Amino acid sequence: MKKIFEVPLYPYVKSEDQNAATPARHPVIVVGAGPIGLAAAIDLAQQGVPVVVLDENDRVSWGSRAVCYAKRPLEILDRLGCGDPFVDKGVVWNTGKVFFDERQVYRFDLLAEDGHKRPAFINLQQYYFEEYLVNRVRELQAEGKQIELRGQNKVVSVDPGSGGVSLLVETPDGPYQLRADWLITCDGAASPIRNMMGLDFVGRVFEDNFLITDVIMDADFPTERWFWFDPPFNRGQSALLHKQPDSVWRIDLQLGWNIDKEEEKKTENVIPRLKAMLGDDVKFEIEWVSIYTFQCCRMEKFRHGRVLFAGDAAHQVSPFGARGANSGLQDTDNLCWKLKLVIDGKAPDSLLDSYDVERVHGADENILNSSRATDFITPKSEISRVFRDAVLDLSEKVEFARPLVNSGRLSVPCVYDGSPLNGADDTAMPSRTRPGAPAVDAPIEGGWLIDKLGGRFQLLAIDAQAPGELDVGGVPIETLTFDTRKTPSNAVRERYLGEAPSAIYLMRPDQHVAARWLTFDRDAVVSALQAAIGRA
Amino acid sequence: MKKLTTTPNIVDPDGLYAELLALHDGREEDESHAINARLVLILANHIGDRDVLRQAYALAAPELAPNNA
């Protein structure tokens, strides 16, 4: 049976554009059909913006790669109309165990709070992730949305101008030119477009290598994240074991810096390492092997005029904490509604600068967290190893040391504190739903709050009165009214009211809170909306 | 901001010093380093106050002090 990553999902087809006498012009071109590029294209197409996706390949990626997906990205996928297949297929997990040498020193639960539609985390191979997004693209096409996926279309040069972006694209039928009003660049950590534009990508390279393998086996390990520091089977290094769908297990083995990558990748050298870990009697088959060296880097700016960078092309982090793909999805979630308003002439071009501000903030948070995890996992000096081991030793015996154990701080949604788009706040309401924060889900009559949110500006009137609909200079605001006496649990009250008797929340199209008040005031809402779309 | 205690605060200084050194009696150097690291972590947690700890770091490693006030 052919694996999904062996099948061309968007094979090359010659486009009309290749015969055009003058270069065809598109409102938005996305470069890269990985998880982030596809999410961007789906988001825009859903909003009625015609979009063309170019990718030098024609199939989903090989190997599990970005394997852990957090709750916030799953909610974003729901907003993109396709969350179910990911969650149905994915492996839901909550428990992590940390081992030091031969002992279990620590276990954590992700403490999934009740009253959320989506779980804290799922594990899913990236090839499924991309396949389900391609399926969503096909669905949108069937609905008549203008979204096109062009395989074997490799961008070989880019000319970013103030009036538009010109591209030269290589295909099996030779090169052709394209023009775009806006270019969204999601072409990965090595981003050819970033390099063609001569843009920076600075940060720290970590001198370490990880052997990453997908192993097919019937093993009775529980559905948990297991992390080892200095285990007997990989002395002086770390290891990770994680379950994926289809009896595929993800195993990461730290190898250190001075190794021969080609030698280490050879099956005959990988098998003894796995046997040492899994035991001699466990039968397994290797699906994918890769050696990974990582860095924590970002571009100084994610916006360069009409070229917008997202995902690994804009920022890269070490893998501990699942902050790569998860943050990339938050990039496009942040970008696409802004781009739509700018394209429609309803918001100034400067609104796109807030994409830069908000997502650079997100990237810095991720880089900080994953750098710290890496410093714990890969001590960079003898004394840092001494402290690391002291923490692990103590964590077995005393509670205080356990929060210091850092095998990766798992991705949590970014709060855009200090964003210029944020409006009024009232401290009677809970901190977790402050301006800049993403909506916190809660059960409501007949479903979930999160499913009612997004895609447009909205007012949440909680135990409060507000007009059914507003229009601020062509930007509509829809009102959703909630009576907390009728919600199926206290969650709406706890998560949105706190000490307040009533609340009005202005929500952005990406489900983040823009501003909030105790009661409705038209002028206050209008000025908050203006601020949230960069008009103020 | 709470201030780091820098005046004598221990009743029997010679006794304290002897107990501290006794911890390391007959140890290999790496073992001693491990004990010291655990001790730092235990005491840091006991103190708990990050401002006080930062004053202690600055006293221990003066060249790192953000403001040598």
Per-residue pLDDT for A441 more than 70? Answer: yes
Predicted confidence at residue B68, as pLDDT, reads 44
Three-class secondary structure of residue A23 per DSSP: coil
The verdict on a CB contact (< 8 Å) between B34 and A394 is no
Is the pLDDT at A508 greater than 70, yes or no? yes
Token pair 């190893």: residue: A385
Distance from CA of A95 to the nearest CA of B (A): 26
Closest CA to A237 of A266, A213, A257: A257
Q: Could you tell me which of B28, B59, B23, B29 has the C-alpha nearest to residue B42? A: B23
**How far apart are the CA of A106 and the nearest CA of chain B, in angstroms?**
17
On the question of pLDDT at B69 being above 60, the answer is: no
Q: How far is B48 from chain A (nearest CA, A)?
A: 11
Helices marked H in A90-237 — which ranges?
A: 126-142, 192-196
Chain B hits for A404, CB-CB cut-off 8 Å, are 41
Q: Which of residues 4-63 of B touch A (CB under 8 A)?
A: 30, 33-34, 37-38, 40-42, 45
CB A5 within 8 A of CB A214: no
Answer yes or no: is pLDDT of A240 > 80: yes
For chain A, what percent of residues have pLDDT higher than 90?
88
Q: Cβ(A2)–Cβ(A62) under 8 Å?
A: no
Tell which residue, A122, A59, A61, has the closest CA to residue A90: A122
Q: Which of A407, A403, A439 is nearest to A512 (CA)?
A: A439
- Is A324 in contact with A387 (CB distance < 8 Å)? no
**A214 in a structural domain:** yes
Closest residue in chain B to residue A392, using alpha carbons only: B38
Q: Does residue B56 lie within any of the structural domains?
A: yes
In a domain, A492, yes or no: yes
Query: Per-residue DSSP letters for A44-72?
Result: HHHTT--EEEE-SSSSPPSS--S-EEEHH
Cβ pairs A/B, distance under 8 A? 28
In this structure, the answer to whether residues A456 and A472 fall within a common structural domain is: yes
Give me the pLDDT at residue A492, please: 97
Six-digit token string for A62: 């090989």
A100-137 per-position pLDDT tens digit? 999 999 888 886 789 999 999 999 999 999 999 999 99
Q: Give the closest of B34, B42, B45 to A386, CB-based.
A: B34
Where do we find the tokens 């969503």?
A136
Same domain, A190 and A241: no
Question: What pLDDT digit, counting tens, does each position of A306-343 carry?
Answer: 999 999 999 999 888 888 999 999 999 999 999 999 99
Asked, for residue A75, whether it belongs to a domain, the answer is no
CA distance A386 to chain B (A): 6
Residues contacting A355, CB < 8 A, separation 6+: A302, A303, A308, A331, A334, A335, A338
Average of per-residue pLDDT values in chain A: 95
A18 and A58 inside one domain: yes
Confidence grade of residue B67 (pLDDT, cut at 50, 70, 90): low
Mean pLDDT value of segment B4-25: 97
Predicted local confidence at residue B65, as pLDDT? 61
Number of domains present in the structure of chain A: 3
Residue B5 lies in a domain: no
Residue B67 lies in a domain: yes
Whether B16 is in a domain gets the answer: no
Q: Band the pLDDT of A294: cuts 50, 70, 90.
A: confident
Give this complex's ipTM.
0.94
Backbone angles phi, psi at A523, to 5 degrees: -60, -40
Q: Is residue A194 part of a domain?
A: yes
Q: Letter for the amino acid at A165?
A: V
The domain spanning residue A517 has which CATH number?
3.40.30.120
**pLDDT attached to residue A205:** 86
Strand partners, A148: A52
pLDDT tens-digit map of A402-417: 999 999 998 888 999 9
Q: How close does chain A come to B50, measured CA to CA in Å?
A: 15
Structural domain boundaries, residue B62:
28-69
Q: Tell me: pLDDT of A200 over 80.
A: yes
**CA separation for the pair A252, A358 (Å, rounded):** 32
3-state DSSP assignment of residue A2 = coil
Each residue of A63-93: pLDDT tens digit? 888 899 999 999 999 999 999 999 999 999 9
Cα-trace Rg, chain A: 24
Asked whether residue A78 is domain-assigned, the answer is: no
Bridge partners (DSSP) listed for residue A254: A210
Shared domain check, A339 and A232: no
**Could you say which of A346, A367, A388 is where a domain stops?**
A367
Total count of domains within chain B: 1
Query: Is residue A476 included in any domain, yes or no?
Result: yes
pLDDT at A501 over 50: yes
State whether A394 and B42 contact (CB < 8 Å): yes
Average pLDDT over residues A253-268: 94
Cβ within 8 Å, pair B37-A401:
no
Same domain, A398 and A523: no
Q: Where do we find the tokens 């999934």? A: A112
A355 and A330 in a common domain: yes
Q: Which of B34, B40, B45 sits opposite A389 (nearest CB)?
A: B34
Q: Do A390 and B37 touch (CB under 8 A)?
A: yes
Structure tokens given for A162: 């103030």
Distances (CA, A) of A177 to A17, A171, A194: 8, 11, 19
Query: Tell me: the pLDDT tens digits for A27-62?
Result: 999 999 999 999 999 999 999 999 999 999 999 988
Instruction: Supply A236's token pair.
Output: 């002086």
Same domain, A215 and A274: yes
- Search chain A and give the residue with CA nearest B38: A390
Chain A nearest-CA residue for B39: A390
A355 φ/ψ angles, rounded to the nearest 5 degrees? -60, -45
The pLDDT value given to residue B53: 97
Full residue range of the structural domain in which residue A106 is found: 92-111+207-293+378-408
Q: Above pLDDT 70, what percent of chain A?
A: 99
Phi/psi at A98 (5° precision): -120, 130
Let me know if residue B1 belongs to a domain. Answer: no
Contact B41 A383 (CB under 8 A): no
- The sign of the dihedral angle between the CA atoms of A182, A183, A186, A191 is negative
CA dist., res. A406 & res. A375, Å (int): 9
Question: Hey, CA dihedral for A522, A528, A530, A533, is it positive or negative?
Answer: negative
Asked if residue A129 and residue A15 are part of one domain, the reply reads yes
Same domain? For A452 and A528 the reply is: yes
Q: Which whole number is the average pLDDT over A372-387?
A: 93
How many Å lie between the alpha carbon of B7 and the closest alpha carbon of chain A? 28
Chain A contact set for B27 (CB, 8 A): none
Whether A521 and A458 share a structural domain = yes
* Same domain? A158 vs A193: yes
Average pLDDT over residues A165-193: 98
Q: Which of A383, A393, A400 sits opposite B45 (nearest CB)?
A: A400
Same domain, A40 and A147: yes
Q: For residues A381-390, give the mean pLDDT.
A: 96
